[in-house]
Chain A
Amino acid sequence: MKTEQLIDVLVADNATPQARFPLIYAASLIVAIGVAALIFFASIGVRPDLAAAATSPWVWLKIGVNLALAATSAKLLPRLGEPGQSMGVWGLALLIGPVVLAAGVGAELAMSPASSWWPKLVGTHAKYCLMLIPMLSAGPLACLFFALREGAPTNAGAAGAAAGLLASSMGATLYAFHCTDDSLLFVAVWYSIAIALIVAAGYALGPRLLRW
């Protein structure tokens, strides 16, 4: 078949309506949030002492750093699904959450005696953190991969990893409402490991599932 003949075929298909990619992404993101919230409330739910804990700025900081990571990766991800798009400032913006977390950890270390550092870091529910954040991330990850498949990621590994980052930081944000380990040291260690696991999974799955 000659290229001009192929063009005839493509022109005949021009009338097929197509939703714009940002719209598909936005819809998938909403579904991802819905799915994660549904699983969260149906399974573990918020901590019983949330009202009391909400008076502590540390608890809000714990939630806030995860939310910042989710929000910045949500802005970055669609750019990785459009050919010829650069990450712009959003690659750098990913650092907002981690930088605030690092500052918070520094403040916490300065304000507490060294003998309390290790127990804070180990916490009481590290195992649940490592299991439940990935569990809450799985549904959103599937939604985001669906969206990316509708797009055209030119770097499938990076797009997969970014989807993993968004899904797991959404999971981590929700989990932060359940988790009673309120030390930022705990967050910096265990939340980070849980998130890194899902980022690695996204990176590995990207080249397999995001070809187009």
Chain B
Amino acid sequence: MPSDGESEEWARLMRQAKRGDAHAYRRFLLSVAPVLRSVARRNCARIGLDGGEAEDVVQETLLAVHLKRHTWDPDRPIAPWIMAIARNKLIDVRRRKGNDANLPIEEMLDTLTADRDDRSLDRMDLDRLLEKLDDRQRELVRALSIEGRSVKETAERLEMSEGAVRVALHRAIKALASLYRGDGQ
């Protein structure tokens, strides 16, 4: 498990994020990602998936953490919550990739320590799924990620209000999560 100090820090950042602090939320996600990466790599290696596929798991887990963050009770420790989500996504991936190795995912909770290679690989899964969004949603996600624009800039460029951009973005993120699950594919 992540150290207690780290977990406390995540909880603190998440509480700030819930109050609308985008900066705290970014720090939270950037701090969680390497831990998820180490969990995903370890488990993916055991079920015969490579590091790139592990990064797909990291991205899918981050999406789930984001969309389900209202299920974390701010009075409870956050690490078990994050790890339960990671474990769930690893089980999904194991099922989806057709590898029925009986290696239990649970073990990751004990074996998780250092080995934090921070390099994230450029991944294909998400790009492939992006192609399945409608044009407007895809443009939005691209503008905010690859082009690194702000919501305000994106709104101006696409001639939408900021509110409309936010609504469309939230729908796009939900659509991506649903595509990961394989709904409607």
Contact B120–A4 (Cβ < 8 Å):
yes
Contact B141–A9 (Cβ < 8 Å):
yes
How far is it, in angstroms, between the C-alpha of A19 and the C-alpha of B76 when the chains are bound?
17
How far is it, in angstroms, between the C-alpha of A130 and the C-alpha of B18 when the chains are bound?
47
Residues of B within 8 A of A154 (CB): 84-85, 87-88
Residues of B within 8 A of A9 (CB): 141, 144-145, 169, 173
| A5-49 vs B, Cβ < 8 Å mask (1 yes, 0 no) | 111111111111011111010000000000000000000000000
Contact A212–B70 (Cβ < 8 Å):
no
Contact A82–B120 (Cβ < 8 Å):
no
Contact B173–A13 (Cβ < 8 Å):
yes
Q: How far is the CB of B112 from chain A (nearest CB, A)?
A: 15
How far is it, in angstroms, between the C-alpha of A14 and the C-alpha of B120 when the chains are bound?
22
Q: How far is the CB of B131 from chain A (nearest CB, A)?
A: 12
How far is it, in angstroms, between the C-alpha of A93 and the C-alpha of B125 when the chains are bound?
44
Contact A13–B170 (Cβ < 8 Å):
yes
Q: Check A125 for interface membership: any CB of B closer than 8 A.
A: no
Q: How far is the CB of B135 from chain A (nearest CB, A)?
A: 17
Q: Check B49 for interface membership: any CB of A closer than 8 A.
A: no
Q: Which residue of B lies closest to A25 (CB)?
A: B71
Q: Check A81 for interface membership: any CB of B closer than 8 A.
A: yes
**Considering only CB atoms and an 8 Å cut-off, how many residues of chain A contact the other chain?**
32
Contact B80–A84 (Cβ < 8 Å):
yes
Contact A10–B62 (Cβ < 8 Å):
yes
Q: Which residue of A lies closest to B165 (CB)?
A: A12
Contact B30–A4 (Cβ < 8 Å):
yes
How far is it, in angstroms, between the C-alpha of A7 and the C-alpha of B66 when the chains are bound?
9
Contact B145–A5 (Cβ < 8 Å):
yes
Residues of A within 8 A of B120 (CB): 2-4
Q: How far is the CB of A5 from chain B (nearest CB, A)?
A: 4
Contact B166–A13 (Cβ < 8 Å):
yes
Contact B123–A21 (Cβ < 8 Å):
no
Residues of B within 8 A of A22 (CB): 73
How far is it, in angstroms, between the C-alpha of A3 and the C-alpha of B31 when the chains are bound?
12
How far is it, in angstroms, between the C-alpha of A2 and the C-alpha of B70 when the chains are bound?
25
Residues of A within 8 A of B173 (CB): 9-10, 13
Contact B26–A11 (Cβ < 8 Å):
yes
Contact A7–B62 (Cβ < 8 Å):
yes
| B133-159 vs A, Cβ < 8 Å mask (1 yes, 0 no) | 000000001001110101100000000
- In B50-76, which residues have CB < 8 Å from any A CB? 55, 58-59, 62-64, 66-73, 76
Residues of A within 8 A of B181 (CB): 211-212
How far is it, in angstroms, between the C-alpha of A36 and the C-alpha of B44 when the chains are bound?
46
Contact B169–A21 (Cβ < 8 Å):
no
Contact B70–A7 (Cβ < 8 Å):
no
Q: Which residue of B lies closest to A8 (CB)?
A: B145
Contact A12–B151 (Cβ < 8 Å):
yes
A sample of 27 cross-chain residue pairs with beta-carbon separation below 8 angstroms, ordered by A number, consists of A1-B59, A2-B122, A3-B123, A5-B148, A6-B62, A6-B126, A6-B145, A7-B30, A8-B144, A9-B145, A9-B173, A10-B25, A10-B66, A13-B166, A15-B20, A15-B22, A16-B169, A16-B170, A18-B69, A22-B73, A83-B71, A83-B88, A84-B82, A151-B71, A152-B71, A152-B85, A152-B88
11 new A-B contacts at CB < 8 Å, known A7-B33, A84-B80 = A1-B122, A2-B121, A2-B122, A5-B146, A7-B29, A13-B66, A14-B25, A24-B70, A152-B68, A152-B85, A212-B181
